[in-house]
DNA sequence: AACGGAACCTGAAAGC
DNA sequence: TGCTTTCAGGTTCCGT
């Protein structure tokens, strides 16, 4: 699903496709995606030029001339698609923006967890969620600031990092990946991490975001892991498969109703002296097919 | 105030 | 084979 790297990629695509162009028409189906839209829907933006695309965590803020604004959240399944004139549109398109020069941008969102709302740009900035957003971790995380935030909560580190006021833009995937890189167990108390662990975590977060962003290149629309895209992640979606570092089976647990993936050997719950990795049993290969790699085990039914 | 959990939504996959 | 059930997840809302 779209998290910070995917939204950053989407923002760059939107700039390339439409920045500087004037909006000539909009079509938006009346779904909950555009719920909350001020009267007049997106039509109020017609005739205005797209000046800027800003990313705030997983949100995007599009700035138009004369103070116009459009806020976009991709939810779980949303994505912006560029469509040439005459090209057939995809399924589940909830809104379309037509710009001068034959550029049409479709907002596709099968599960409708996304959101599009037009209003004055300065009004949109005041939306409670946006106003409360924590620092942006792309490009580097201030370990001291992060440590101060974490010290104030007794939640698990997994749940604390999912909170957008801690850092803006981390989701279920990036949190699992970052904790693995930092070798921290997801169930550890956020306020109980050592200074050194927080420093490792800050580095792990930045590294994971950077790595994920590097996987998205070119003009092609993004394919999310859940859709069968390549699962290049270290632990996310790899339950039951060997840890890439030590070969131990990666585990899946549920925290706050969400899946967490981690390696019990590299990320022990109790800090202990370094132990040798279990005898590397003939380094079982990761499944090659994207489908198989993306698959995660279902929760076992109780009998 | 901080936290936990349900609701929202629909396609895909598992279960029967 | 085909119908039914379960599951995923970001944010919001509500109850404790």
Nearest nt to the A113 alpha carbon by C1': B9
**pLDDT (mean) for A161-168:** 95
| CA-based nearest residue to A253, from A265, A243, A242, A263 | A263
| CA-based nearest residue to A165, from A189, A197, A196, A190 | A190
**pLDDT (mean) for A196-210:** 96
Active site residue A39: no
**pLDDT (mean) for A41-49:** 92
Q: On chain B, which bases lie within 7 A of the protein's CB atoms?
A: 2-11, 13-16
Residue with tokens 């790595």: A211
pLDDT at A303: 26
Active site residue A183: no
Q: What is the pLDDT of residues A276-302, one digit of tens each?
A: 565 544 444 444 333 333 333 333 332
Q: Return d(Cα A225, Cα A102) in angstroms, integer.
A: 31
* All protein residues with a CB under 7 A from any atom of strand C: A 1, 3, 57-59, 73, 75-77, 111, 113, 127, 129, 162, 164, 171-173, 258-259, 296, 298-299, 301
Active site residue A79: no
The answer to whether strand B lies under 7 Å from the CB of residue A92 is yes
Spatial contact of A96 and A107, defined as CB atoms under 8 Å apart = yes
From A258, A264, A287, A296, the catalytic residue? A258
**Burial, A46: exposed, middle or buried (Cβ in 10 Å; 0-12, 13-18, 19+)?**
middle
Instruction: Band the pLDDT of A47: cuts 50, 70, 90.
Output: very high
Nearest-CA residue to the C1' of C10?
A75
**pLDDT (mean) for A214-225:** 76
Q: What is the pLDDT of residues A102-148, one digit of tens each?
A: 999 999 999 999 999 999 999 999 999 999 999 999 989 999 999 99
């Amino acid at each position: 699903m779209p998290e910070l790297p995917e939204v950053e990629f989407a923002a760059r695509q939107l700039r390339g496709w439409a920045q500087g162009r004037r909006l000539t028409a909009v079509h938006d189906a009346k779904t909950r995606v555009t719920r909350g839209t001020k009267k007049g829907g997106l039509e109020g933006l017609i005739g205005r030029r797209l000046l800027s695309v800003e990313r705030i965590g997983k949100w995007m803020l599009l700035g138009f001339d004369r103070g116009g604004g459009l806020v976009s959240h991709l939810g779980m399944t949303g994505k912006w698609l560029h469509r040439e004139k005459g090209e057939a549109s995809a399924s589940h398109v909830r809104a379309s923006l037509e710009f001068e020069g034959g550029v049409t941008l479709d907002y596709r969102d099968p599960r409708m967890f996304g959101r599009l709302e037009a209003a004055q740009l300065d009004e949109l900035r005041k939306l409670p969620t946006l106003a409360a957003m924590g620092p942006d971790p792309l490009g580097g995380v201030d370990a001291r600031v992060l440590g101060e935030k974490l010290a104030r909560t007794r939640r698990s580190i997994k749940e604390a990092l999912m909170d957008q006021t801690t850092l803006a833009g981390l989701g279920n995937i990036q949190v699992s990946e970052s904790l693995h890189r930092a070798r921290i167990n997801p169930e550890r108390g956020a306020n109980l991490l050592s200074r050194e662990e927080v420093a490792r975590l800050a580095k792990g977060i930045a590294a994971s975001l950077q790595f994920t962003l590097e996987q998205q290149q070119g003009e092609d629309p993004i394919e999310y892991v859940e859709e069968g895209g390549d699962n290049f992640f270290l632990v996310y979606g790899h339950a039951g498969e060997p840890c890439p570092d030590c070969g131990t089976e990666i585990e899946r647990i549920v925290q706050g109703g969400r899946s967490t993936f981690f390696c019990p050997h590299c990320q022990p719950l109790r800090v202990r002296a370094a132990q040798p990795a279990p005898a590397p049993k003939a380094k079982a290969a990761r499944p090659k097919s994207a489908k198989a790699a993306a698959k995660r085990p279902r929760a076992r039914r109780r009998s």
